[in-house]
Amino acid sequence: MITTSDVASTALDESATTSGVSWGAIFAGAAAAAALSLILILLGFGLGFSAVSPWGHEGISAEGLGISTIVWLAFTQLVAAGLGGYIAGRLRVKWSALHSDEVFFRDTAHGFLAWAVATLLTATLVVSSVSGIVGAGVQAGAQVASGAAPAAVAATDGDQYGYFIDTLFRDDRPAPVSDDAAHAVVARILVRTVDNDGQLAEADRAYLAQLVAQRTDLSAAEAQARVDQVYAQVRKSVDDAKQAADSARKAAAHATLWMFVALLIGAFVGSFAATLGGRSRDNAVVVTNDYRTRTAPLR
């Protein structure tokens, strides 16, 4: 005769020898979550490409695209992590001899582990995008901090200020003579000035005016005015470049923070969905041969 104490002893022995982690259920949930994440990511790429336009003032704006990307990432985490967590909780083994609090904890852990494995599986799909965003933010921050990015480019690319230099030597004569040596001198002056404090020294300013006056029909005063006008355009170009770099850095920082929030949402939803799946698993109803139903401790 089997007594209640024998049943309890058997249940305790089974609980002691059975692992508390159902890796099969975890990997099954992770596979489902990773597959759904892949589908949703591809769908998001398709929607994003259809919304943007290579032409200016057409299609979605950069700000709107960034917001849409974050919302879609959060939605992907919500749906995929929820599905993976529910499957992991529904397919795990039944712990019949455990307290309900312990069962709740294990279900939560199964959902979290399924989300973690799915995140690692799908990380290879987005790692290039994330590293690109973070790298762009770091590079932009370094450029803004140093303030020497435009000058560094100019030092290696003589055409950086080519337009402004040509503006200095514009003339009404039909065939103006170009002086490459003078252009190189002006380029070096602009690079040094922008690289230092951005203020054109009086000596350099006077020398530039002298060069312009020698090669055009402008008077000394007119050449001086042209130097000031063109250098103001150079400064504006440099300031715009710095502002664009700073905007890129801020956008990268915001995107990274919102990705962190989206992943946290996925971890929470996956853990919670596993408790729902585990509860349904424990309350499963089995139909016997005599068409009677009963709640069974499914394995």
DSSP assigned state of 294 = E
Q: Is the pLDDT of residue 243 over 90?
A: no
Residue 20 token pair: 């508390």
Task: Please state, in angstroms and as integers, the Cα–Cα distance from residue 185 to each residue in 162, 189, 233, following that order.
Answer: 12, 6, 18
In sequence order, the β-bridge partners of residue 294 are 286
Encode pLDDT of 198-223 as tens digits: 778 888 888 888 888 888 878 888 88
pLDDT for residue 132: 54
pLDDT for residue 15: 52
> Are residues 268 and 111 in contact, defined by beta-carbon separation less than 8 angstroms?
no
Q: Is the pLDDT of residue 136 over 50?
A: yes
Range name among 53-67, 137-151, 189-203 with the lowest pLDDT average = 137-151
What phi, psi does 59 have (nearest 5°)? 80, -170
Q: Which residues of 110-120 are buried (b: 16+ CB within 10 A; e: fewer)?
A: bbbbbbebbbe
Q: Which of 140, 117, 124, 107 is nearest to 253 (CA)?
A: 140
What phi, psi does 293 have (nearest 5°)? -110, 145
Residue 3 token pair: 């007594």
Q: Please tell me whether residue 285 adopts helix, strand or coil conformation.
A: strand
- Alpha-carbon distance of 134 to 157, in angstroms, equals 26
Encode pLDDT of 89-101 as tens digits: 988 888 777 788 8
Range name among 17-21, 128-132, 280-284 with the lowest pLDDT average = 128-132
Q: Kindly indicate the confidence band of residue 110, based on its pLDDT and cuts at 50, 70 and 90.
A: very high
Q: Compute the CA torsion angle 46, 50, 55, 61 (nearest 10 deg).
A: -90
- Alpha-carbon distance of 242 to 194, in angstroms, equals 12
Q: Which of the two residues, 114 and 125, has the higher pLDDT score?
A: 114
**Region 180-192 average pLDDT:** 78
- Alpha-carbon distance of 22 to 16, in angstroms, equals 15
Identify the burial level of 48 via C-beta atoms within 10 angstroms of its C-beta, where 0-12 means exposed, 13-18 middle and 19 or more buried.
middle
Q: Which of 149, 193, 195 is nearest to 207 (CA)?
A: 193
pTM > 0.75: no
| Dihedral sign, Cα of residue 53, residue 56, residue 59, residue 62 | positive
Residue 175 token pair: 């065939």
**Region 260-268 average pLDDT:** 90
pLDDT for residue 7: 46
- Alpha-carbon distance of 103 to 138, in angstroms, equals 45
**Region 94-114 average pLDDT:** 86
